Structure 1
Amino acid sequence: MEYSYPIDIDWTKEEVTVVIQYFQAIEKAYEKGIDAEELKSRYRAFKKVVPSIGEEKRLGREFEKESSYSAYQVMQLVKNATTSSIKMKP
C-alpha cells in the first residue's frame, strides 16, 4: 500500500522505528494475522514513545485515515482475545 506513517519530527530514529513497527503490527493483524503476544509487545514499546492517550488517539486516527486500518479496533480485539493470534475481519 502507498501511505505514510504518522511520526513526530522530534522523535529519535529509534523511536520512529518503534512507532512504525507498531503500525506494521496493526497492518499485519488485518492482512495476515499476528500473534497476540507480539502485538502486545509492540504496543508496550509504542507506549514508551507515546505515553499520552490523547497523542495515541491522534496518531491512530491519522494512521486509520491513511490506511483504513483501525489501531483502536485491533487493540480492543487483542485486549479481549481468547486465542493466541489476532486476525481482523475485512
Structure 2
Amino acid sequence: MSYQYPISHDWKIDEIVDVIKFFGCVEKAYEGGVERNSLINAYKRFKEIVPSKSEEKKICGEFEETTGYSSYKIIKKAMESEAIQKIKG
C-alpha cells in the first residue's frame, strides 16, 4: 500500500523508526498475523514516545483513517489474549 504514517516532526529519528515499527506490527496483524510479544513491545515503545492519551488517539486515528486498520482494536485484543501467541485483525 502507498500511504504516509502519521509522524511528528518533533520526534528524533529513532523515535520515528520505532513508531513506524509499531504501525508495521498493526499492519501485519491485519494482513496475516503478528507475534503478540512483538506487537506489545512495539506498543510499549510507542507509548514512551507518545505518552499522552489524546495524542495517541489523534495519531492512531490518522493511521486508521489512512489505512483502515485500528491499532486500538489490535492492542486491546493482544492485551486480553495472553494465551494467543499470534494476533490477527
Residue identity (%): 40
Over residues 21-43 of structure 1, what are the superposed CA-to-partner deviations in whole Å (9 max), with x where a residue is unaligned?
00000000000201101100000
TM-score (norm 2): 0.95
- Secondary structure at the residue paired with 2:4? coil
Within 2, Cα distance between the matches of 1:80 and 1:48?
A: 21
Unaligned runs of 5+ in 1: none
Over residues 38-79 of structure 1, what are the superposed CA-to-partner deviations in whole Å (9 max), with x where a residue is unaligned?
100000111111011111110010000100000011011111
What count of residue pairs does the alignment treat as equivalent? 88
Within 1, Cα distance between the matches of 2:47 and 2:3?
A: 22
Within 2, Cα distance between the matches of 1:69 and 1:15?
A: 21
Unaligned runs of 5+ in 2: none
- Secondary structure at the residue paired with 1:11? coil
Q: 1:84 deviation in Å?
A: 1.0
Within 2, Cα distance between the matches of 1:8 and 1:65?
A: 17
